[in-house]
Amino acid sequence: MPPDPSRSQLKIRRVHLDTGRENVVVVSRRSKALRADIFRGFSRVELRLDDKTLLATLLITDDDALAAQDEIGLSEPAFHRFAKPVGTLVTVAPAAPPESLEAVRAKIRGRTLDKAEIDAIISDLAHFRYSDMEIAAFLIGSASFITSDELLALTGAMAQAGTQLVWPDQIVVDKHCIGGIPGNRTSMIVVPIVAAHGLPIPKTSSRAITSPAGTADTMEVLARVNVGVEEMKSIVSSCNGCLIWGGHVNLSPADDVLISVERPLSLDTREQMVASIMSKKIAAGSTHLLIDIPVGPTAKVTTAMDAMRLRKLFEFVGDRFGRTVEVITTDGRQPIGNGIGPVLEANDVMAVLGNEEDAPRDLREKSLRLAAHLLEYDPKLRGGAGYARARELLDSGAALKQMQKIIDAQGPSKCSTDLGPSSFDVKAAHDGTVATIDCLRLNRLARTAGAPLDKGAGIRLFKKIGDRVEQGEPLYRVYTFEGPEHDLAASAAQQETGYIVNGHEVPPGRTPS
């Protein structure tokens, strides 16, 4: 398309502003070609160059260092997505909202959406055409009520909006855990066990958004995880499994966009959670899926009733998309394993795989249980034999060998495995028995200490629920890299340890060693 002569052209400039997911551009209030203020009523603009377009939210500046009169400043996400060199002339015009927003408004007014409308919304979301406010409108509009048909349409549209993996095998297994539990790195044990048995398990994982570590962050301590689609296929073909970051594979990109707004608003609904997880797993080409729902007072799911409702939704969507879905509930009252934070969790994982004496038993047992369920999807395995087979693969060292093979195939990690050099212990204020451990509190404390950004920051637990402690005995140790994190974490731990011993909170003032 030739440039429209009546439309303004501006030179691209790069503005080093990380605006998260949202495309943001900056224009001078004295812009020669573009009367920025005219656009204030619109607040969104469209950049166009040949066939390439980008919708962005407009900010105005009086500072030539951000954007001179003949320039348009592209924030980092806008610059990368538009992918044109600095200095390129682009056409800029006020942007009408995406047409699919009309369906969002209808949903807000209470109308049920049809498949075509949901497809259009998801396509616009996946192409970053919605502003954060518009994303919020869709999320909230569908938070109060969503029909079964809408849920299916949403899941299907999200699965189709990005990469869709196809595998040569009849059975492709996968697992997913409804997060919230610190530690809990079962995937890194389950995948090598199942892969060692011979079932394909191409696992993609997320990075932490609000937690101190995602499986991708922890695996990155051991191996490269930024792996693309073609490389992923070759790794799975040689190792039966992989443990990579989902971000490079682009499964269900609309889901990533929705999550970026869901999280700050704390807006998870059951239906959105199911659509999110199932869309990723369907796009990943899994045929047999195990969902782990930890239940506990500080877990994401707090009651058995909630877990059951969630299970039914997973089963319903799985059935309609022809996938075998099994949902189990697990103990979510406390962290799994002893480490919280990438390096500490990776150490736990390797201790379990290496059958080391001090390996955390809870992590080992939970991983064996999950692996057992997945192994029984193998028609050649005798019913009930899954657990014994999983233990055999773990105890014999076959799983560790498989993990080494996967690590070698993914390539070496560039991360240091050092723990934070600046640590302090949080100690019991009196004798007693550990009654409760607050998962939310420990997650937040590990983040304050620097995880996941500092791989070696985090928490090592010495005591779990039911353990006897004596006054002054350490409950856990916090590792940090820098002074400010140390002070912030110490002050947070002093305020509230997250442990209740014998029904008494550890009082403040006793904690930093």
List, in sequence order, every beta strand (DSSP E) within 279-379.
Answer: 288-295, 324-331, 339-340
Binders of its own copies among 218-257, rule CB under 8 A?
none
25 in contact with its own copies (CB under 8 A): no
Q: Is the separation of the CB atoms in 298 and 440 below 8 Å?
A: yes
97 in contact with its own copies (CB under 8 A): yes
Binders of its own copies among 352-411, rule CB under 8 A?
none
210 in contact with its own copies (CB under 8 A): yes
Which of residues 18 and 357 has its CB atom nearest to its own copies in the complex? 18
7 in contact with its own copies (CB under 8 A): yes
Integer Cα distance of 287 and 281 in angstroms? 9
Determine which one of 70, 149, 169, 268 is catalytic: 268
63 in contact with its own copies (CB under 8 A): yes
255 is annotated as an active-site residue: no
Binders of its own copies among 436-475, rule CB under 8 A?
447-448, 450, 453
Please report where in the chains the tokens 């100690």 appear, as a residue: 427
Only one of the segments 3-11, 178-186, 391-399, 420-428 lies at the binding site for its own copies (rule: CB under 8 A); that segment is: 3-11
43 in contact with its own copies (CB under 8 A): yes
> Rounded to the nearest whole angstrom, what is the least distance from the CB of residue 447 to its own copies in the complex?
6
261 in contact with its own copies (CB under 8 A): yes
Q: Which pair of structure tokens corresponds to residue 404?
A: 């080494």
Q: Which pair of structure tokens corresponds to residue 92?
A: 């800029």
Which of residues 375 and 478 has its CB atom nearest to its own copies in the complex? 478
263 in contact with its own copies (CB under 8 A): yes
2 in contact with its own copies (CB under 8 A): no
Q: 10, 12, 25, 26: which one contacts its own copies (CB under 8 A)?
A: 26
- Each as own residue / partner, the long-range contacts of residues 461-466 (CB below 8 Å, 24 or more positions apart, any chain) are 461/183, 461/335, 461/338, 461/339, 461/340, 461/437, 462/338, 463/428, 463/434, 463/499, 464/334, 464/335, 464/362, 464/434, 464/437, 465/333, 465/334, 465/434, 465/435, 465/436, 465/437, 466/433, 466/434
Which of residues 262 and 376 has its CB atom nearest to its own copies in the complex? 262
68 in contact with its own copies (CB under 8 A): no
List, in sequence order, every beta strand (DSSP E) within 63-142.
Answer: 71-74, 89-94
Which of residues 140 and 500 has its CB atom nearest to its own copies in the complex? 140
131 in contact with its own copies (CB under 8 A): yes
Binders of its own copies among 135-164, rule CB under 8 A?
136-137, 140-141, 143-144
Q: 166, 266, 358, 383: which one contacts its own copies (CB under 8 A)?
A: 266
Integer Cα distance of 271 and 294 in angstroms? 18
Which of residues 113 and 428 has its CB atom nearest to its own copies in the complex? 113
Q: Which pair of structure tokens corresponds to residue 354?
A: 């290496």
Q: Provide the 8-state DSSP code for 442.
A: H
CA angle 405, 249, 455 (to 5 degrees): 65
308 in contact with its own copies (CB under 8 A): no
Find the farthest-apart pair of alpha carbons in the chain and give their distance in angstroms, rounded.
80
Residue in 464, 191, 184 with CA at minimum distance from that of residue 341 = 184
Total residues contacting its own copies by CB under 8 A comes to: 66
> Rounded to the nearest whole angstrom, what is the least distance from the CB of residue 328 to its own copies in the complex?
27
19 in contact with its own copies (CB under 8 A): yes
What b/e sequence results for 292-328 when a residue is b if at least 16 CB atoms lie within 10 Å of its CB, and e otherwise?
A: bbbbbebbbbeeeeebeebbebbbbbbeebebebbbe
Q: Provide the 8-state DSSP code for 41.
A: G
Pairing between β-strand 71-74 and β-strand 24-28 as defined by DSSP bridges:
antiparallel
Residue 266: count other Cβ atoms within 10 Å of its Cβ. 7
298 in contact with its own copies (CB under 8 A): no
Q: Is the separation of the CB atoms in 197 and 207 below 8 Å?
A: no
> Rounded to the nearest whole angstrom, what is the least distance from the CB of residue 329 to its own copies in the complex?
23
Could you list the active site residues?
268
Q: Which residues bind its own copies (CB under 8 A)?
A: 4-8, 15-20, 26, 29, 33-35, 37-38, 40-44, 59-63, 65-66, 97, 101, 105, 108-110, 131-134, 136-137, 140-141, 143-144, 208-210, 261, 263-267, 447-448, 450, 453, 482, 484-485, 487-488, 490-491
